[in-house]
Chains A and B, each alone.
Chain A
Amino acid sequence: MTYILKTWDEFKNYQRTCYRNYVYASEGLRCMGSTWSVLAPLKGLGEDVYIIGGEPHAASTAGTFPEESREDISAAESAGLGFHSCSYLKLFVGEIVRDKIAIPDGTIKEGYPKPDLIWTTHLCTQHSKWYQEVSRRLGGIPMYAIDMIGGGNAEKDPKIVKYVCDQIEEGIRWLERVTGREFSDELFIKAARNEIKVLVLWGNICALNRHAPAPLDERRLIALFPPAMVDRTTDQTVRIYEALLKEVRYMVETGESVVPDQRFRIVYFGLAHTYGHPEIARILRDAGAEIVASVYTFGTTGNFRGFVNGNWSWEPLDPAWVDELDLSSRRDAISALAKIVLGWPTWQGVRSYWALEQMARAMVTEYKADGLLLAPSRSCETDFRNGYIAIQRIFKNEIPTVEYDTDQVDVRKMDLPGSQRKTELFVHLMEAHKKRVHDK
């Protein structure tokens, strides 16, 4: 019996509200930037701060308005952005070129709502260049990009933590100068604790998929983490993720799942690609194959124990630990935030091949995978495109492993029939492997 999530609507509503707040705000501050940054500092500017993040916005637009997305990408290319550039970037810039914005409540609004400032980060070589282009096109929006450095064990390296903290601290002074507002440490610290809490909660929710049957499938997972991407600093986000955690724990206790028929458990490395995902999912579903774990979905807004004695662990952190965190001062909060974001699996894996390999190995073991499905995006550098090919080479002799190229939004870069064929092949390989193991 398929379990229907009770908290589903709350997540969708939250996401829609965040976008509406940004688009329709007549007062307050509009902030734009990568939601891979630490977001809490923005909230130190007041209670009327509205955020739009490039990645979740592009993803939700592509999913909700596929035709608009194609027009946006086309507009960005006509305006000079290259074919090989990040599709999220092109979609986002394309909206600015066309002077309209589409949001997940179904609205396409004429007139792009200009941000007051851009607060972003930089890790892949397109990341902050994205917002340089946006700033330029919108007449020179002030922008501050934090260099997150990344890499394996980054959160344990005092040099890296200090480097990121110093930038955040400098960034806060910049926020005051640019907005003319006095920064409230009280609001900031509250937002910081919420931000850390949400990341830890999401990690706990993902970790429950280690059970069999896994309570959540990839389709639900990729729909449930965006609110944490959109704005994870509010009391409301904490509430909805706490409620979700409670619900998923209940599902585990009762042995329920959103997809009860799970013959094969898959670990997936790839972005949530809006185009082709349903078709690929159907092929897997028909074979009872479910993606139970994904580095991107888990590790972009989720934290885990990370490296313990040299080995990666997907064991979640205790949410109670967040309540006990000493965030007495601004620097304490900055340091805690820096460490938690540097601890994201995604920040670590992008700049460290050995970290990515360790994560893959641990994920396959802890989630008892029957197969490893790799789907690098042809336009995203942060999507470990740099590592997936090597991962295939390493794992192919150990576990059924198939790789197909995809793209997070640009349909032209995805060979859907070819990817479907490879997915069928993947199912076949898992079946053959299972049969061999059984016959032994």
Chain B
Amino acid sequence: MMKKGSKAIIEYFRHITENTHEYAKSLQGKGQLLAGYMCTHVPEEILYAAGIIPVRILSSHVSQAMTRSYLHETYCSFSHDCAYQGLQHNYDYLDLLVMSSSCLHMSEAFNVWVRFAGFQQKSFLIPYPHIIQTKPAGGFLVESFGEFKQFIEKFAKKSITDDDLERAIKVYNQNRRLLKRLWEFLRRDNPPITGLEIATVTLASQVMDKQECNQMLEQLIQRLEAEPGKAPSGVRLMLTGGACDDLRIFDLIEHLNYSTNLIFIDSCTAARYFWFEMPEDRPDKLEAIAEGYIGRIPCPAKDNVPGTGEKKRFRFIQQFIEDFKPDGVVFFYQRFCSPQPHDIVALKPILNKLGIPSTELELDTTVPITRFGTQLEALVEIIERVAP
């Protein structure tokens, strides 16, 4: 299938992001069961161990005003879009819908699917800690995952063995390692791939069969290692924030009227999805999975270390800044998101201390190209002419 170079492989990933349903149905056509999931707190490994392919529910980027009589208009457009797709029956082909307790906006999107979009009999809500760092969170999660595993065994009519789980853990860990390697190309001054391209690949990975995804990623990385870098680097911009699967924003960042490079995206649709690993070869597989999910970069909605009130996510962000050396940071979050803006208020002083200029983009269903472009170019101006 892959004729030449990395371009063709990246194009394949892009095609998947633009034709998610077609891809998912092709898997179903091969006899695979499909489980849609919202947010990143769902233990995909358990589904995969049962032979079910997890498919992340992402935005369609079309107008979804028709959802405002199902969930409140002051809920983020990402949750509205996800709800809309359920109401439009775009995902009726899914065999199952799974959700872990998440932020209230996405939880309500899930409720809409269950209540009004016909998923009452084919859905499961995994109780998940709302503060991920509590001491008993691990034990709670293990129990929760245990109940989920039992449900999946009944649903798939097959037993999930420890070997099945270990295999799934390894496949997913491999996927995470490969994605990480891909993003680390952007640490170079002259990477052979752009941030937009990597973001595209990362997005596609969230709806793909991980084994196939791993094969493609290995090929891609192999080719990239052999390719020369692209044009000299411009201003290095890092994004940090909430769910954003709109590739047009990343495209805009890399095509401003200045030379700019997107060098990292810390969001749940990018790095936070994969920047961790499960412990392997542990006797208690569910415990290993729980440990992995607890140890990763926390979602702002769940990030509050008991005893200190620390936002653990900030440690990761500071590490990313150290590793990827951005010249500027772009905060981005869905309009009406509650937890993200709270983090930004506390992050900004840290960036100020580090001498890194920043700006904020408030996201909605569509991208106001002109307005966002002006804002981003203003940031680049500051970086190039004003910042020390």
Which residues of A line the B interface, CB within 8 A?
79-82, 84-86, 118, 122-126, 128-129, 131-133, 135-136, 140-149, 151, 159-160, 162-163, 166-167, 170-171, 174, 178, 350-351, 353, 376, 378-379, 381, 385-390, 392-393
Contact = CB atoms under 8 A, between A and B. Distances in A.
B74 A171 contact: no
The 7 closest A-B pairs by CB, nearest first: A143-B309, A166-B136, A82-B341, A80-B345, A147-B131, A125-B301, A386-B108
A171 to B, nearest CB: 7
A122 B70 contact: no
B75 A386 contact: yes
B338 interface: yes
A144 B306 CA distance: 5
A125 B127 contact: no
Contacts of A81: 341-342, 345
A122 B309 contact: no
Contacts of B136: 162-163, 166-167, 170
B130 A147 contact: yes
B137 interface: yes
B72 A131 contact: no
A167 B132 CA distance: 12
Contacts of B111: 353, 386-387, 390
Interface string B122-142: 000001011100111101100
Contacts of A167: 134-136, 306
30 contacts: A80-B344, A84-B335, A84-B337, A85-B341, A122-B304, A123-B130, A125-B300, A125-B339, A132-B304, A132-B309, A132-B311, A135-B309, A136-B309, A142-B308, A143-B304, A143-B307, A146-B306, A147-B134, A149-B101, A149-B130, A151-B101, A159-B143, A163-B137, A163-B140, A174-B306, A178-B307, A351-B101, A351-B107, A390-B112, A393-B69
A133 B349 CA distance: 13
B342 A145 contact: no
B69 A132 contact: no
Among B71, B104, B143, B336, the most chain A Cβ lie within 10 Å of the Cβ of B104
B68 interface: yes
B316 to A, nearest CB: 17
B206 to A, nearest CB: 22
A145 B304 contact: yes
Interface residues of B, number: 50
A170 B137 CA distance: 12
Interface in B295-315: 300-301, 304, 306-309, 311
A378 B335 CA distance: 13
B134 A381 contact: no
Contacts of A131: 309
A128 B304 contact: yes
B362 to A, nearest CB: 9
A381 B116 CA distance: 21
Contacts of B74: 84, 378-379, 385
A84 B69 contact: no
Interface of B: 68-72, 74-75, 101, 103-105, 107-108, 111-112, 114-116, 127, 129-131, 134-137, 139-140, 143-144, 300-301, 304, 306-309, 311, 335-339, 341-346, 348
Contacts of B116: 390, 393
A145 to B, nearest CB: 5
A85 B338 contact: yes
B338 A151 contact: no
A141 B307 CA distance: 10
Contacts of B339: 125-126, 129
B135 A126 contact: no
A143 B308 contact: yes
Contact of B304 (A129, A160, A386): A129
Nearest to B337: A84
A174 B135 CA distance: 12
A332 B115 CA distance: 38
B285 to A, nearest CB: 19
B91 to A, nearest CB: 19
A142 B307 contact: yes
A170 B342 contact: no
B117 to A, nearest CB: 12
A315 to B, nearest CB: 27
Contacts of A170: 134-136, 306
B337 to A, nearest CB: 8
Given A86-B338, A125-B104, A145-B131, A171 B306 contact: yes
Contacts of B300: 125, 129
Among A86, A118, A132, A141, the most chain B Cβ lie within 10 Å of the Cβ of A132
Contacts of B342: 81, 85, 126, 129, 132-133
A178 B309 CA distance: 13
Nearest to B310: A132
Contacts of A126: 338-339, 342
